[in-house]
Every structure is written in C-alpha cells, then in structure tokens.
Structure 1
Amino acid sequence: MIKHIFSLGLILVFTTSCAGQKQTEVTYKEKKEIQNSVNSYDDAKPKLVVGLVVDQMRYDYLTRFYNKFGEGGFKRMINEGFSCKNNHFNYVPTYTGPGHASVYTGTTPKYHGVIANYWYDKEEKKMVYCAGDDSVESVGTKHNAGKMSPYRMQTTTFADENRLFSQMRGKTIGISLKDRGAILPAGHTANAAYWFHGQDEGVWVSSSFYMKTLPKWVTDFNTSDVAESYFKEWNTLYDISTYTESGSDYNTFEGGFKGKDRATFPYDLAELKDQNKGFDLLKATPYGNSLTTDFAIAAIEGEQLGKDDITDVLAVSFSSTDYVGHNFGVNSKEIEDTYIRLDKDIERLFTYLDAQVGVGEYTVFLTADHGVVDVPSYLSSVRIPAGYVNNNDRKEKFTAFLMETYGTKDILEHISNNQIFLDRAKIKQMGLNLEDVQQAIVNEQISYSHIAKAYTANTMSSTNFTTGIESLLQNGFNQKRSGDVIVVNDVAFISYGKTGSTHGSGLNYDTHVPLLFFGKGIKHGETLKKTEISDIAPTISALLGISFPNGAIGQPLEFVMK
C-alpha cells in the first residue's frame, strides 16, 4: 500500500508489499492529496520574518514600563503573541557582538566564535573587531566605517539557511545603527546589511562584501533630510511628573552630554551636536531608534520584502537603548522615555507591515542582545553590594607577581575581556609547564579584591560543567580564540566610570531578557519555563521548515507555535 509521510513540508511516498503483491501506482486522488498538503504547508509559512533585537533591554523594562506603553507595540506582541518570561543568555560574556550572533545562529561563542565585540587574536597578535574586515571596501562613505563583513563568525544564521533552502530567492536584509548589529544577524549570504555612519555625514552605509554601490532607495533616503530632522529638542514624551517608574531627573549617577552642565531634560540636540560628534549624538537619544525604524520601513518598500510566497528575513536591531543605557543608567528618566518612544516606533513598524505585507502574513520575534547592571554607585547608595574594579591596579600587582615568580613579565601577552593571554612560546622556551603556569595565575588572581572566581583554559577544555557560572563560562569559551585564564568579578562590580553602566557578566541582570513571538504561526500565551537565547533560531527554522543553523545547540520552542 502507498504511505505518505508529511514532516516539516517534506513528503515521502514509498511502496510496501501487500499480500505478496507490490503496488506502485499513485492515483490521481492521492496525488492531489499530496499536492494539497504541500500547498497547505507553504500557506502556513510567513511571507516575512522580522527579527527585532533591542540592545541592552533587561526583561524588567517590559514589565516596569508596561503601563506607559500603547496598545500597538510591546503590548500587541504580548496580547496577541507568546511571551517567554524566563528567557536567559546561556553564556558569558554578554556583549553586543556575541549576543546578536547567538540569537541568529542558535549557538554560543564556543561554536560561532564571536567571543566579544573586540578580542585579542592569538595568531595575529593584535586586537580584532568582530565585524572588521580589511579585505573589503566601504560603500556609501569614504570613511573606513564600511570595511566590515561577517567572516569572523564561523557558523550560519537561520537567515543563511533560509537563503540556502529557497535557492537564494528569499531575501535577507540587516539593519542597525551599529555595524555588528546589522551584519552578524544577516549572516554570510545576506543580500545586504546597512548601518549608520554618523559624525559629519549621517548616512546609511554598507560594504563591498554585499554590493558595489548603494541601491537607489538607500541613496534617496541618505539625500533626504530625515536624519537632520531629528536634531531637535529631546524632552519627555509625557509630563515628566508621570515618570514614576524611574528615579529623580537630577542625580549624580548619570553621564549626560558635553555642552550641558546637568544631565536633565530637556536636551537641545541642535545646540549640542557640534560638541558630541555631530550625527553620532542621535545614536544616544531615542531618535536613533526612530531613524532606524524610518530606514527599516524604507527597506521593506525598496526591497519589496514579503511581497511573494518565498519567505524573506528582515533583521532590525535598535541600538539607541544601549547608548542611552550606558550614558544614563537603568534607573534614569532618560531610559524610561527611550522605551516609551521605542514602543511607538515598534507600533509604527507593525502598522506599516499590516498594510504592506498583510495582517497575519508576517512573523516577528523580539529579544535583546544582553541586559545591564544598575549603576553600581546608585546600588551602593541604597546599601546593595556593588562597586568598581581598577584594572590598572590589578595589572600592576599581577606584573609584580610574574617578576617575583618567573623573573620576567614577558610570559604575559595580553589582558582583555577578563581574560589573560600568555606567550606560550616564551613559556616553552623557559622550560615551564603551561598548565602549571595557568594554575599558578589562577591561585594568584583569586586572591585579588573583587575577583570571585578564576579558571584555567585547561579546566574549560577538560571539565564538563552543566550548571552555574562555570557552565556559562564554558559556553562562551572558544578553545582557539579565548585566553589562558578567565576571571569573574564580584556581583555588581564593574570596570567602568562612576556614572552610567555596562554589562558582560553571567548574572541575571545581564542574562534575563525578553523573548516575544508574534504573528503567523504563533500561539497566544506565556510561559515561565526557562528558555535560552539559543532556542530562537531553531524555533524560527522549525516554523519555516528549513535546516537549523549548522552550529545550533538550542531546541525549537514548540509550545509557542500553532
């Protein structure tokens, strides 16, 4: 008899022996059933997948500012889609480059290789940038801002897999103020990635990795006055007295802008731009997110995304939330206003998608690339353990240890990203055992103030950790690229200035971020079950019926899908 197996859009038809006879014919009716099943599956796929990554968005921003949001942005995703309330990064370090790569590849730095924004390359003997590529040229600017590509990322994204599955007919476009926020999500096969070059130009640019010249719709956007129009007053969208979810407007925990004595509303951006790197100033205001939304809408129209039955992918990263967060901190009026305004921009994007792609014809996920710790000086003021580390003092003490123990400091090659890189050739030349040297350094580092843990590369490579910070460190440890010793600071202790804040740890304030799914193929609901950032790409891949990214370790979240 004939059997049909339908699985993720693949149809297998095979014959079996029945009463000693082999039947091989497929009737017209059965052929129609098979074709209808194929058509039904294709009809279930969205015309467009939109990935939204909000840079530095802690999970509690979603709940803290909930009552200030309108009905068409974050709330629409929650009320019509699915919310994973206990979503976490499953590795350290929680930075922008690794975050964007992990969201779209479904794996961690251990496999995709993006171990930081910048890291020390042990072969080139210098710091390298996660998206930097000197073999390509800038497109749209004479500045080096366009010399970028995804070549340092070692695995595919789900956008890559969608391109392969569709014989390169499904488009992929990446957009972000930050180059790494556009390039890494879009993957290796993207049609284009665009990022914003500020300073004295204020234009969206790309790289010869993708194209020789900018498309007309991009040059038209750049020659318009859209970016210039945002040099206006930044005041709170609503009466500042209603911003009860954040601290006082004037305090000692915020950075502010050059040319303004106090970090308080309002901010005259036209007056401040010349002292704050021109168009770069817009990045550090909510208007940078508005400009990103403007450009994303232009891309949907210019590239005709979602206009046929072959799924396209649009990867959008909202970066201004990160710039504002670093400058003003978690508890600021500025961060509250930025999220209130971002909610309006997301609503504007959804309204456009409804009209141009169709209600129920696109699928969206929203998450973040990392969270952020509250300003340690603020935490200290309310008696929560927190503070600052001085890396220069640590290095001076460590150098003295090396001289006393080994008679030279030359075995130290580099320190960055809480990692110590050793000159292995020098260690071998001196007749020292590498593992012994690593362990001696661990024993020394753990004695320093505000270092909570330290581990050797040998430990990371030879021990299988399944829980705790050790597991997160191991998921972020790339044997070819990471250092010889990894150190972990005390909770809420950072190397940073006394105003504003930063991220990078494996603690909840850095790992717990939103995960919302919305649109075609998505159920309505919520869960407190723990999900991980590496689950996103397999989930979208399963929704599309395509191969998972080649290094993916996450699992499809079947409970979010219809």
Structure 2
Amino acid sequence: MKKIVIPFFILLLFVSTTLIAQRKKKTVETEQTTNTQLVVGIVVDQMRYDYLTRFWSYYGDGGFKRLVNQGFNCKNHHFNYAPTSTGPGHASVYTGTTPEMHGIIGNDWYDKASEEEVYVAFDENYNSVGTTSAAGKMSPHRMLTTTITDQNRLHTQFRGKTIAVAVKDRGAVLPGGHTANAAYWFEGGKDGNWITSDFYMRDLPNWVKDFNASDAIDAYKKPWTLLKPLSIYAASGSDESVYEGKFEGETSTSFPHNLPQLWEQNDASSILKATAYGNSITTDFALEALKQEGLGKDTYTDFLAISYSSTDYVGHKFGVNSVEVQDTYLRLDQDLERLLNELDAQVGQGNYTVFLTADHGAIHASSYLADQKIPAGYLNFGSMKARFNEFLQYRYGTTDIVKTISNYQVFLDHKVVNNLDMDLDDVQEEIAQEILSYHNIYKVYTGSQLWQNNYPPSSGIAHLIQKGWNQKRSGDVIFVQQPGYISYPKTGSTHGSPMIYDTHVPLLFYGNGIKKGETVTRTTIPDIAPTIATMLGIAYPNGTTGNPIEAVLNR
C-alpha cells in the first residue's frame, strides 16, 4: 500500500511544481514583452523641488497633483554632478550618465581642439530648416553616448518614433538623441516659427508649416496678467520688487506685463519665451505633434520629449521668489492637465507612461538672501581676474600659461608649461592654491586630482565635481563659489553650482508600468533612463552609470 501511495504524492508534487513553474515562466514572458505605446518625457527647465510643495495648494487636480497622487514621487532626487545647467541636465536625463561620460560639460565651453568657445548644439555641418537664419544649424554631435530615445529606436528597428519639442534648441536636440525623427524649437523674432535642422529633415512637414502659418502664436500677443487674484500669490514675495528684472521698456516689475506694447523692443515674439505663455505655446505644438505624427497609435513604443524652457527664462529674469514664477507654474499646471487629458483621448489611459523632472534647480536672488541676513553675495570676477593675472605674471613671467577661464574652470596652455620646464601637476596645484585664497571661493580641485582619485558620493562636492569633469574636454583647475554666492546680476535667479539648491529637483513617474507611491530614498538624475529602459525591456543607453529605481516599477 505504501509503495503505491508514496509515488502518487510524488507524482502530484511534480505536476504541481511544473504547473507553478510554467505559470511563473508565462508571467515573466508577459512582463518582458509588455510595452507602453508612448513614453512622454517632460523636463521643466529650472524647476526646484519645492515648487511642488510651495505652490501645492494652488494647483488644480489634473496637472502636478494628478502626477503625484496617481503616480510615484521621488522626493529626494538630485543631480549627482556639477555644473547644473541646461545642456548637461537634458543630456544626463536621457543618457543615464553624467558629463564625465556623455561629454556635455556646459551650455558653452572652451574646446581644446579648436581653441575656441563652442555651443553645445551648434553644428556648422548642417543647415536651418524653416528659417533663413543660423538658428537651425544644430545637431547632437557633441553628445558622446546614446540616449534612451536612441535605444528605443534601435530596439524597435526604428519603427518607434521620437519627436522632441522645446522653446530652446538644446532642450529638443539633446533629448531627441542621435536618431530622432524630429526635434523642433521656437525661433521667436518677427515670424515666431517652429524650426529644425537638416540633420533631421530637408523640409518641414506640412503640419508644421500649417501650424507656423496659423494664428497660434498671435493668440499669445496679449498682456501677461495674473491667472488668479493677487492674494492667492502668498507663496511669493511682493509683486513690485527690487530683486526682479524688467523687460526692455518697462518701468515696473509688477503685473500686468503689457506684451503688445513691449513687443518690438523685445524682439517681437521672442518676449514670449520669458513669460508663462512660452509653456503654453510649447504645449500647443506638442499636442499637434502628438496628433499629426500618430504617436502611441501602434504596438511600437514612441517617445515624445517635451522640455518646458520658459520656466528658466522667467526664473532668470524675475527670480525664485517672484510672483511671475508662481504664476508661470500655476499656468504650467493647467498646460500639464491639458496635455494629460489629450493623452487620455489620443492614446488612452493605461497606454502611456510619463516622467517629469528638471534640468537643474536655482538659487534665490543673492541680494534677497543677503537682505534676510543669510550668507550670500556676488563674485567680483573683474577684481579676481586682475589679481590672478598679477599672480601669473609674477610666478611664471607670463599670463600666456592660461589659455582661458570658462565655466569656473582654468584651461592651461600645456605647451607653455612644458617650455617653462615645469611639472603640470605642480602648476595646477599652485594655481589652485592661489584661487582658493580669493574671497568667496569655497573649493578648488585640480585635473590631476580628478584624474588620479575616485571620490565616492560620501565625499560630497568632490564627487559632484568629478562626475561633471570630462578628461578630454574639461579644464585643469576647477573652482567652486561659496554657498549663496553667484556670478550674476543682482536681479533674478541663476544656477550651475553643486549646492543643494541647484541639485534638488522633482522626479515624478506616472502611468503604464508605474506604481503609485513615493520614496525619500536618494535617487539621482542618471537613474531615470535605466528605469524607463527596464520598464520597456530595452537596452540601457551605452554610457549608463545610473541604476533603475526598483520602487517605481510595477512589476
């Protein structure tokens, strides 16, 4: 009897185990082949994390609140490198790595090979499309690695589309990657057209021509008025403020800003870039691209990369604490709601995935901070340069040992160093010691230090500087200003430092494949691309140094 019963249970156990294994295998296979139809990447230029919390009670339910309440909020999200500026920010979001790898070390930088300043996206080898000016001579050729958008194109045998849209050229060119079907940016000026480069196409599609020929831009040639009563803007400073800049022709910083009256003095439609309307124009165009390009309509994942550039222009002009910044975000909230509603209608709820982040944060106007008795102020580069040249002349007998100073980096002429029969490490160290002695300089690093040492995240600023330093492109000596100190006019806000006000930005995920929840575990900008790649089941960008954020993924 026992000889019969025991094999029966063994057989039953074997069958059960096999069925469970097959079920697990089927589940895994389903997960690996499940794709979202459309990924929408949103980068909000100069968005500090606290713009979510400061303005929270004034947002509607369908924009930022929808993304937070129905998606996943990474509350402790940071840039893990410096400089924190637009070019490196957009490149890092989409490549999953830092300037150390992807090579975008600034918006502009001194190029050692050509011995001149270069712009991140400018490419003499390509021509403008949609304009007779040079504003379209752009490509991503300076970005050394692939992007998540490139990897999706490769994975789908180029059947999945990539369309990138931004007011700024670099805000479209870099997210689009090397293989984008199209990247469009807003030229401004008299015509106010959306343009591109023949890197992507020889002629604008008819739908873009029709959009440019329409009255879409003219609809925003109107006074910039407050969206809500002034009393609602209690999360900001005074509307009339000495810490804010003005448009050409204005005598006051307060609302309303009479754009029709200021139009010609501020390069016509270009003035819209520095208003909340610039984001609305971007949304209008992105929605037209969504419809006309048929994004998210088949089984191959498409990418729509949208960068909201006007938040940066407004922040630079008016500052972190301005009513203008708050109004811009309240209006952006409405634009996001409009975007999400259209995605629901065109692609369908549950068929698309959204991530939203920023390319950098921003500091309050240092003049405002100083008036509140917070340590802050301005670097006097004029006096620093005069003192520095005196040091060079005294120590080396010539100022020619330095080619230039660019992006807080000193570029040495290595031939002059060799002719002086000096060791490069010693020259770098001497210059670093000299600069460190200057008022309001906080830290200084040499290229030799960054080359020879490995600074872990626990080392703080040293780690951020190293991750932003590219061996072939960056300078010989890198200096960091004191916290709260900037090189900028005394009105408006800026960014670029490794300080937390420039590194702490939002990261929101929403939609297909995304859990609902939040985390205060530290995440970094290079984590975004591998997270999306893992969700899609595609290869990581080829320079990826970030890690997928496991808590985000609904696996």
Q: Partners of 2:363 and 2:490 in 1: how far apart?
A: 13
Q: What is residue 537 of structure 2 aligned with on the other side?
A: 545
Q: What is residue 508 of structure 1 aligned with on the other side?
A: 500
Pair 1:147-2:128 in alignment: no
Look up the equivalent residue of 1:549 and give its one-letter code.
P
Look up the equivalent residue of 2:67 and give its one-letter code.
M
CA contact 2:32–2:537 (8 Å) conserved in 1: no
Pair 1:274-2:257 in alignment: no
Q: Which residues of 2 match residues 198-217 of structure 1 at below 5 A? A: 198-217=188-207
Q: Partners of 2:431 and 2:189 in 1: how far apart?
A: 43
- Decide which of 118, 125, 143 is 1:128's aligned counterpart: 118
Q: May I ask how many residue pairs the two structures share in their alignment?
A: 533
1:348: how far off? 0.1
Q: Partners of 1:487 and 1:62 in 2: how far apart?
A: 31
Q: What is residue 87 of structure 1 aligned with on the other side?
A: 77
Q: Partners of 1:417 and 1:410 in 2: how far apart?
A: 19
Secondary structure of the 2:66 match is: helix
Pair 1:60-2:50 in alignment: yes
Q: What is residue 408 of structure 2 aligned with on the other side?
A: 418
What is the TM-score of this pair, normalised by structure 2? 0.94
Deviations 1:131-181, CA, capped at 9 Å, x for gaps: 110000000001100000000000000110000000000000110000000
Distance 1:482 1:245, change over 3 A: same
Q: Which residues of 2 match residues 14-413 of structure 1 at below 5 A? A: 40-41=30-31, 44-413=34-403
- Decide which of 480, 485, 491 is 1:488's aligned counterpart: 480
Deviations 1:505-555, CA, capped at 9 Å, x for gaps: 111100000000000010100010000001000000000000000000111
CA-based RMSD: 1.5
Deviations 1:327-377, CA, capped at 9 Å, x for gaps: 000000000000000000000000000000001110000000000000000
Q: What is residue 11 of structure 1 aligned with on the other side?
A: none
Q: Partners of 2:128 and 2:511 in 1: how far apart?
A: 36
Distance 1:443 1:35, change over 3 A: closer
Secondary structure of the 1:233 match is: coil
Pair 1:472-2:464 in alignment: yes
Q: Partners of 1:456 and 1:259 in 2: how far apart?
A: 45
Look up the equivalent residue of 1:440 and give its one-letter code.
E
Secondary structure of the 1:101 match is: helix
What is the TM-score of this pair, normalised by structure 1? 0.93
1:83: how far off? 0.1
Q: Partners of 1:528 and 1:36 in 2: how far apart?
A: 34
Look up the equivalent residue of 1:460 and give its one-letter code.
L
Indicate the percent of aligned positions where both proteins have the same amino acid: 57
1:39: how far off? 7.7
CA contact 1:44–1:520 (8 Å) conserved in 2: no
Q: Partners of 1:333 and 1:34 in 2: how far apart?
A: 55
Q: Partners of 1:44 and 1:342 in 2: how far apart?
A: 32
CA contact 1:74–1:343 (8 Å) conserved in 2: yes
Q: Partners of 2:535 and 2:501 in 1: how far apart?
A: 30
Secondary structure of the 1:152 match is: coil
1:430: how far off? 2.1
- Structure 1 stretches lacking a partner, 5+ long: 1-28
Q: Partners of 1:506 and 1:426 in 2: how far apart?
A: 31
- Structure 2 stretches lacking a partner, 5+ long: 1-18
Q: Partners of 1:277 and 1:94 in 2: how far apart?
A: 28
Look up the equivalent residue of 1:539 and give its one-letter code.
T
Q: Partners of 1:144 and 1:163 in 2: how far apart?
A: 28
Q: Partners of 1:364 and 1:135 in 2: how far apart?
A: 34
1:229: how far off? 1.2
Look up the equivalent residue of 2:323 and give its one-letter code.
K
Distance 1:221 1:36, change over 3 A: farther
CA contact 1:454–1:486 (8 Å) conserved in 2: yes
Q: Partners of 1:65 and 1:163 in 2: how far apart?
A: 37
Secondary structure of the 1:464 match is: coil
Q: Partners of 1:446 and 1:382 in 2: how far apart?
A: 27
